[in-house]
Amino acid sequence: MILRSKTPLLFTLVSCLIPLLWLFADIALNNLGSNPIQALHIRLGDWSLRFLCLTLAITPIQMVTKWRGMASYRQLFGLYAFLYGTLHLLTYLVVDNNLEWSLIGTDILESPYIWFGVLAYVIVFLLGVTTSKWSKKRLGKTWKKLHRFVYVASVAAIIHYFWQLKGNLAEPLLYLIIIFFLLSFRVLTWVMNRQKKLNKPQNLRLM
Footprint on this chain of ligand HEM (rule: CB under 6 A): 38, 41-42, 45-46, 48-49, 52, 85, 88-89, 92, 114, 117-118, 120-121, 124, 157, 160-161, 164
Quick one: 74 or 88, whose CB is closer to ligand HEM?
88
- Taking the complex as a whole, the smallest distance from the CB of residue 44 to ligand HEM amounts, in Å, to 8
Q: ∠ CA(86), CA(87), CA(90), 5° rounding?
A: 85
Q: In angstroms, rounded to a whole number, what is the distance separating the alpha carbons of residues 53 and 206?
A: 44
User: How far is the C-alpha of 178 from the C-alpha of 182, rounded, in Å?
Assistant: 6
Tell me whether residue 26 or residue 46 sits nearer to ligand HEM (CB atom): 46
Q: Is residue 88 within 8 Å of residue 44, measured between CB atoms?
A: yes
CB-wise, 42 or 139, nearer to ligand HEM? 42
Closer CB to ligand HEM, residue 53 or residue 58? 53
Listed in sequence order, the residues at least 6 apart from 96 whose beta carbon sits closer than 8 Å to its beta carbon are 37, 41
Q: Please report how close the Cβ of residue 5 comes to ligand HEM at its closest, in angstroms.
A: 31
